[in-house]
Structure 1
Amino acid sequence: MTEKPQTPTLSPLVAAQHRAMPFTRLTDCGMDPADARRLLADTAAGTPWPDVAAALAEAQLERARRAAESGHGATARQAYRFAAAALMFAQMAYQTDTAEKRELYARHTAAVAALAPGVERVEIPHRDGVLGGWLCLPVGTPRATVIVWGGLSSWGAAYLSVADAYTTRGLACLLVEGPGQGESRLRHGLYVDEQVIEGFARFVDLVENDPRLDGPIGVQGISFGGLIAAHLAAADSRVGAVVVNGAPAVPTVPEFRTAREQLSAVAGTDERGRLTEVMDSLRFDPDKHRITCPLLLLHGTQDPLVRYEDQEPFLRAADPATSTVRIWPDGEHTLYNHAAERDALTGDWFVDHLAGRGTSES
């Protein structure tokens, strides 16, 4: 009789990491599927998460260097993207802004920068710091631009696959790190506060001032970032269409310590009263905040973090005639497990609502 191999018992920390960063999320945000399986297997066996992820990234960086030296540019770019994704997930192991987290994210940024000129770094002065992002352009003249941002833990170039879907359809895509995100926070000390929408609006300014991007502007917010996208769409008439994916309309301060630490890092404070003030300032009230541009709301019924009811206020703030809801009965948080279909849907939706139906694709 053959015995079945025993499944290792995960420590509470590793179990939480596997829940927060499942295989579907790892691959959605760009990891090599083989690396994603290795990361989950090795951490289940006891190797610390950031050590495994960083080692996988280093192997991909070495692969990229060898490919570039041999003149195999496509292979080098693929490996740099896999490395960047591995480093994105390596830094997620740290809830607070430790020196290790900053160093891993700086390495992630360097890996993405190696994708130039296909991925262009942009930086905008804001307050006493700098906001950063990555611009991806289609072949030919963009018919419109979509600005995309993430939430509490994955930012900017984590969404290169989204940019791929959009540039294929003739749209420019700006992947941003707003206040409380990425280098904007870790290097320049810009956090989420009562004026955070002004920070994200600076990316709309950038698009308006770039002569290559002469066309309508859409915004897309993923996870907590969807709340920011809804606020910006309600406040800024320059936004021509908005996608909200897996966002709470009424953010709260979590009771669980690890989740609260993550939110505290975004807001730059661990003082409970101050954190509550910031979250209260971001409550989306459909009686006060009206979305006049077309809205696409995405939801996964199996999302453990955001219920449909948590997103419903965004719909009440919009015109029913220009609002669309798409629900996946088996959808995970932000629809990790339907990534390709999700990105095709949102890409086509932005083409229809920004560039007009029938627009030719690259």
Structure 2
Amino acid sequence: MTTANPEVSPLVAAQHRAMPFTRLTDCGMDPADARRLLADTAAGTPWQEAAAAIADEQLSRARRARENGHLVTARQAYRFASAALMFAQMAYQSDTDEKRELYGRHTAATASLAPDVERVEIRHRDGTLTGWLCLPATGRPRATVIVWGGLSGWGAAYLTTARAYTARGLACLLAEGPGQGESRLRHGLYVDERVTEGFARFIDLVEADSRLGGTPGTIGVQGVSFGGLFAAHLATTDPRVAAVVVNGAPAVPVIPEFRTAREQMAAVIGTDDLDRVAEVMDALRFDPDKHRVTCPLLLLHGGLDPLARYEDQEPFLRAADPTTSTLRVWPDGEHTLYNHAAERDALTGDWFTDHLAGRRTPKG
């Protein structure tokens, strides 16, 4: 492994800020691989090359283990490869051929986790929405939680969260909604003023799947980072949402100041026209005087989050019933609480269990 160079380029410094060790491991990378990725990129290896090389080694490890009948080890290596490829594609903000190829490899690695992870596809408009369904090991799911990300991390990036939920008897559907994952990169579905219609299609899937039941009051949604805005909007318009978690989201989205973030947002909307980007962002403003969240709401906030200040998230609380809304703040929390991942997932898993499966716990 190469040695880290403290004198890194502005590009590498930005990548390390956007994808720190805590985020890499939160989204499923082997801690040793995460350290290597940061060291190799600091030493000059391009981010996408370093991450793809790590994935290749994990894929080789997975194949050897499978050939020798060590299926648990194989699944572990496929998970690590899937995570490495998720981060490899993040080197590209725009939808280049290289980004699509890396994301396709990520999807293939994730598919190798079957039957623990099940691929889902849903027709929507002129394209297909994609995602991953994770079921509890035994018994019928007590409820279902649909989880989605934001501008750069989607779907299987939240497999660790899904495992926390399935361990509690909940099914977890990791959604790649409009503007996300293969739904965007392969099928051309983007964010627009009616983006919540796309996310509602995942609720349709849960209701239609006999294994999940879709019983009223047993479907929750969780939006991470920018995706929390979509989750809050869906909770105001779709009565099938029985509980909602918002984690690190802006209530009033704006065109970012930094070029890479602007490129990410433009890619999500499918245009380089910044006037069109601003038009969509304005339509997605969450106004607590106009939008009301009638189901229980859990708002998560990190005190050191540079992307979503408390003031940016507070409107979601004002839109909810104070008797059924909960705020949880980690004063030292990073964006979406990468650095408190285990505690965060335990909290949200228990909260969804209480509100969707009928097991309330005494306050305090």
Q: TM-score range by the shorter chain?
A: over 0.9
Q: Deviations over 1:2-42 (max 9, x none)?
A: xxx99521100000000000000000000000000000000
Aligned mate of 2:256, from 245, 254, 265: 254
Q: Which residue is 1:175 aligned to?
A: 174
- Identity over the aligned pairs, expressed in percent? 81
Partner of 2:7: 9
Secondary structure of 1:184's counterpart equals helix
Decide which of 35, 38, 56 is 1:37's aligned counterpart: 35
Aligned twin of 1:128: 126
Query: Structure 2: how far apart are the matches of 1:149 and 1:256?
Result: 24
| 1:18-37 aligned within 5 A | 18-37=16-35
Alignment partners' CA distance in 1, 2:34 and 2:116? 25
Q: Deviations over 1:302-356 (max 9, x none)?
A: 0011100100000000000000000001000000000000000000000000001
Give the whole-Å Cα distance in 2 for the aligned partners of 1:260 and 1:118. 36
Matched with 1:220 is 222
RMSD: 1.1
Matched residue, 1:317: 319
Q: What is the 5 A alignment of 1:177-192?
A: 177-192=176-191
Structure 1 residues 252 and 358, CA, compared in 2 at 3 Å: closer, same or farther? closer
| Whole-Å separation in 2 of the counterparts to 1:115 and 1:39 | 23
2:207 maps to what in 1?
208
Which of 76, 79, 98 aligns to 1:78? It is 76
Secondary structure of 2:108's match?
A: helix
Counterpart residue type for residue 333 of structure 1:
H
Question: Which SS does the other structure have where 2:242 is aligned?
Answer: strand
Q: Tell me the alpha carbon deviations over residues 45-83 of structure 1, each in whole angstroms, 9 at most, x when there is no partner.
A: 000000000000000000000000000010000000000
Query: How is 1:194-343 mapped onto 2 (pairs within 5 angstroms)?
Result: 194-214=193-213, 215=215, 216-343=218-345
Aligned to 1:353: 355
Where 1:175 maps in the other structure, the secondary structure is strand
Q: Secondary structure at the match of 1:125?
A: strand
Q: 2:347 corresponds to which letter in structure 1? A: L
User: 1:112 — aligned with what?
Assistant: 110
Task: Tell me the equivalent position of 1:152.
Answer: 151
CA separation in 2, counterparts of 1:95 and 1:140?
41
- Alignment partner, residue 143 of structure 1: 142
- 1:51 corresponds to: 49
Q: Which amino acid aligns with 1:237?
A: P
Find the aligned partners of 1:259 and 1:169 in 2 and give their Cα distance.
36
CA distance in 2, matches of 1:88, 1:300: 24
One-letter identity of the residue aligned with 2:290: K
AA aligned to 2:47 is W
Amino acid at match of 2:112: A
> SS at 1:212's partner residue?
coil
1:112 alignment partner AA: T
Deviation of 1:296 (Å): 0.2
**Aligned partners of 1:196 and 1:6: how far apart in 2?**
42
Q: Report the residue type matching 2:45 in the other structure.
A: T
The offset of 1:258, in angstroms, is 1.2
Question: What is the one-letter code of the residue matched to 2:283?
Answer: S
The one-letter code of the counterpart of 1:184 is S
Deviation digits for residues 249-301 of structure 1 (CA, Å, limit 9, x no counterpart): 00001122111001000000110110100000100011111000000000000
- The separation in 2 between residues aligned to 1:355 and 1:45, in whole angstroms, is 49
Deviation, structure 1 residue 142? 0.4
Q: CA contact under 8 A between 2:4 and 2:39: conserved in structure 1? A: no
Separation in 1, partners of 2:356, 2:302: 25
TM-score, length-normalised on structure 2?
A: 0.96
Q: Unpaired runs of 5+ in structure 2?
A: none
The separation in 2 between residues aligned to 1:45 and 1:350, in whole angstroms, is: 43
Per the alignment, in what secondary structure is the counterpart of residue 77 of structure 2?
Answer: helix
Rounded Cα–Cα distance in structure 2 between residues aligned with 1:255 and 1:32: 32
- Aligned partner of residue 306 in structure 2, secondary structure: coil
Structure 1 segments unaligned to the other structure (5+ residues): none
Q: Is the 8 A contact 2:243 2:297 kept in 1?
A: yes
Measured after TM superposition, the shift of residue 358 of structure 1 is: 6.5
Q: Report the alpha carbon displacement of residue 357 of structure 1 after superposing the two structures with TM.
A: 1.4
